[in-house]
Amino acid sequence: MSNELKRGLEGVLVAESELSHVDGEVGKLVYRGYDIEELARGASYEEVLHLLWHGSLPTPAELEEFRERLAAERSVDDDVIATVRTLADAGERPMAALRTAVSMLSAYDGDDDGDVLAEGSKITAKIPTILAAFERARQGEEAVDPDPELSHAGNFLYMLTGSEPDDVSEETFDMALTLHADHGLNASTFTAIVIGSTMADVYSSVTGGIGALSGSLHGGANQDVMEMLHEVDDSGKDPVEWIADARENGRRIPGFGHRVYKVKDPRAKILEEKLRDLAESSGDGKWLEYTTAIESYLEEEGLVEKGIAPNVDFYSGSVYDAMGIPMDLYTPIFAMSRAGGWVAHVHEYQDDNRLIRPRARYTGPETSEFVPLEER
Ligand SMILES: CC(=O)SCCNC(=O)CCNC(=O)[C@H](O)C(C)(C)COP(=O)(O)OP(=O)(O)OC[C@H]1O[C@@H](n2cnc3c(N)ncnc32)[C@H](O)[C@@H]1OP(=O)(O)O
Ligand SMILES: O=C([O-])CC(=O)C(=O)O
C-alpha cells in the first residue's frame, strides 16, 4: 500500500474508459476517437449521446429511432413541475432547483428497474423540461409542453421562450451541448461514478454530478465569467486596465486554468469562433471585445505560458448571452449536456465495477483519553 499523497487525486488513474480522452499538452479532446471539432461541426447532440451510450455514431435509421425514444421521455410529472415552481417562488438557485428536481424524478420512474441507460436517458430527456419550467416560473409564465418533433437543443429553446428557435440559435445551442457532453474523469463525472460504484441508482449519480458541477472551480465558472464581464463593464474601465488591477489584487480569473489542459482548451477555440460569428451578425461585439482583450493581456503577462489558458467556460457564457439566455442558467445548461456523459460513465464503470474507496493519511492524535460528557 503506497503512502504517497496525491492531493486532489491529481494525475491518479482510477479507471479505464473508452469514452473520451483529453490530451492536455496539445489541447485535444476526442469522444471515442472522434475529434471534438469534427463532432461539434458535424454531429448533433443526439448523435453524440448515441456515440457515448451505445458505442458508435448512429446510422440515419438508428438516429431516428434514438431521437424518437428520447423525445418520448421529455414530459415531467406535474408533481415535479409543481415542486420546480415552488423552488422558483422561494428564490432557489437554478442549479439547486435542478438538483432537487432530478432527485425527485425517481419517484415517477415507472419501471425503476435499475437499467442505467434506460433510466439515464429518461433523466437526460427530462432535464431541459425541468429547467425551462423553472425559468418560466421565475418569469411568472406557465411551463410549455415539450414538442417531440424538435431536436433536444431546439426543444429546450422552444420550451424556454415559447417560440421555435431560428436555425442559427438551434445550431449554436446544439453545438454547445456537444462540446460539454463529456470530459474524462472531471470532478462531477468522478462524483457520479463514485456514487455509481456503490451500486446506487443513476438518479443518485446525476444528482451528485449536478452538485459537483455547480461549484465555481468547475461548471460554475461559466456564470462567474459573465459576472466578471459585467463587473468590467460597470467599472467603466478599459478591460485591460480592469484585468491588470484584478491580477495585481491576486484575483483568480474564472474561465482560465484547468487541471488537465496546459494550453487553450479546444472547446474554447470553437466557442470563441462562434462568438465571433454571432457578434458579426448581430453587430454587438462587446463581450467578444472584453474576453479577447482579457485573454491577450493574460497571455502577454505569461499566464498562458505557465499553462493557465482559457477553458471551456471562458467563451460559453458570451455565446449564451448572445442567445438571450439568463446568466444563472449557464451552469444548468452545462449540466443538461454533461448528464449524458455522467450516464455513459456510470454505465461503463458498473460494467466492471469496483467500489471506489481511497484513503486519507491520518494526521489526528494517536490516542485521546475519553472523558465522559458530565466530566468535560
Ligand atoms: C468545466 C471546468 O471545470 S473547467 C475549470 C473551470 N474553473 C475555472 O475556470 C475557475 C478558475 N480556474 C481555477 O481555479 C483552476 O485553474 C482550476 C481549479 C480549474 C484548476 O486548477 P488546479 O489544477 O487545481 O491548479 P491550482 O488551483 O493549484 O493552480 C495552480 C497555479 O495556477 C494558478 N491559477 C490557476 N488558475 C488560475 C486562474 N484562473 N487565475 C489565476 N491564477 C490561476 C494558481 O494560483 C496557482 O498558482 P501558484 O502555483 O503560484 O499558487
Ligand atoms: O475536465 C475537467 O477537469 C473539467 C471539465 O469538466 C471540463 O473541462 O469539461
Question: Residue 112: pLDDT above 80?
Answer: no
Is the C-beta atom of 183 inside 6 A of ligand 2?
yes
CA proximity to 131, closest of 153, 156, 162: 156
Distance CA 138, CA 131 (A): 11
Is the C-beta atom of 288 inside 6 A of ligand 2?
no
Is 292 contained in some domain? yes
What is the predicted pLDDT for the residue at 223?
A: 98
Is 3 contained in some domain? no
Confidence of residue 113 (pLDDT cuts 50, 70, 90): confident
Residue 98 sits in the same domain as residue 177? yes
ipTM over 0.95: yes
Is 15 contained in some domain? no
CA of 302 to the centre of ligand 1 (A): 14
What is the predicted pLDDT for the residue at 3?
A: 87
Is 14 contained in some domain? no
What is the predicted pLDDT for the residue at 265?
A: 98
259 and 9 Cβ atoms separated by less than 8 Å: no
Is 153 contained in some domain? yes
Distance CA 185, CA 342 (A): 10
Is 315 contained in some domain? yes
pLDDT averaged over every residue in the chain? 97
Question: Residue 214: pLDDT above 90?
Answer: yes
Mean pLDDT over residues 230-256, rounded?
96
Nearest CA to ligand 1 atom 50: 306
CA of 218 to the centre of ligand 2 (A): 7
Quick one: CA dihedral 322, 328, 330, 332, positive or negative? Answer: negative
pTM across the whole model:
0.98
Reported as a single tens digit per residue, the pLDDT across 256-265 is 999 999 999 9
Residue 84 sits in the same domain as residue 101? yes
What is the predicted pLDDT for the residue at 1?
A: 76
Q: Which residue has the cell 461539434?
A: 40
Question: Residue 290: pLDDT above 70?
Answer: yes
DSSP 8-state code for residue 256: B
Is the C-beta atom of 312 inside 6 A of ligand 2?
yes
Residue 288 sits in the same domain as residue 336? no
Is 262 contained in some domain? yes
Mean pLDDT over residues 217-234, rounded?
98
Query: How many angstroms separate the Cα of 60 from the Cα of each of 41, 44, 47, 53?
Result: 17, 12, 10, 17
Residue 138 sits in the same domain as residue 173? yes
Residue 151 sits in the same domain as residue 123? yes
Burial class of 282 by CB neighbour count within 10 A (0 to 12, 13 to 18, 19+): exposed
Distance CA 341, CA 345 (A): 6
Q: Which residue has the cell 421565475?
A: 138
Residue 82 sits in the same domain as residue 106? yes
What count of residues does the chain have?
376
Question: Residue 243: pLDDT above 70?
Answer: yes
Domain housing 86: 29-217+330-351
188 and 195 Cβ atoms separated by less than 8 Å: no
Mean pLDDT over residues 134-138, rounded?
98
Mean pLDDT over residues 346-367, rounded?
97
Mean pLDDT over residues 163-175, rounded?
97
Count CB atoms within 10 A of the CB of residue 8: 8
Residue 130 sits in the same domain as residue 242? no
Percent of the chain's residues with pLDDT above 90: 97
Residue 100 sits in the same domain as residue 136? yes
Residue 47 sits in the same domain as residue 146? yes
What is the predicted pLDDT for the residue at 144?
A: 98
Nearest CA to ligand 1 atom 29: 257
Distance CA 215, CA 140 (A): 28
Pocket-testing residue among 17, 218, 265, ligand 2, by greatest number of atoms within 8 A of Cβ: 218
DSSP 8-state code for residue 107: G
Residue 44 sits in the same domain as residue 120? yes
Nearest CA to ligand 1 atom 36: 257
Distance CA 108, CA 182 (A): 27
Distance CA 281, CA 275 (A): 10
Residue 180 sits in the same domain as residue 234? no
Mean pLDDT over residues 4-10, rounded?
94
Residue 248 sits in the same domain as residue 262? yes
Distance CA 117, CA 69 (A): 12
Q: What cell numbers appear for 109 in the block?
A: 420512474
Q: What CATH number is attached to the domain comprising 159?
A: 1.10.580.10
Is 368 contained in some domain? no
Q: Which residue has the cell 421529455?
A: 74
Mean pLDDT over residues 187-214, rounded?
98
Distance CA 75, CA 4 (A): 49
Task: Looking at the CA of 220, name the nearest ligand.
Answer: 1
Domain count, the chain: 2
Query: How many angstroms separate the Cα of 288 from the Cα of each of 37, 236, 297, 336, 339?
Result: 21, 17, 14, 25, 29
Reported as a single tens digit per residue, the pLDDT across 45-90 is 999 999 999 999 999 999 999 999 999 999 999 999 999 999 999 9
Catalytic site residues? 258, 313
Distance CA 168, CA 275 (A): 12
Distance CA 139, CA 325 (A): 13
Residues facing 28 on adjacent strands: 23
Task: Looking at the CA of 8, name the nearest ligand.
Answer: 1
Q: What CATH number is attached to the domain comprising 238?
A: 1.10.230.10
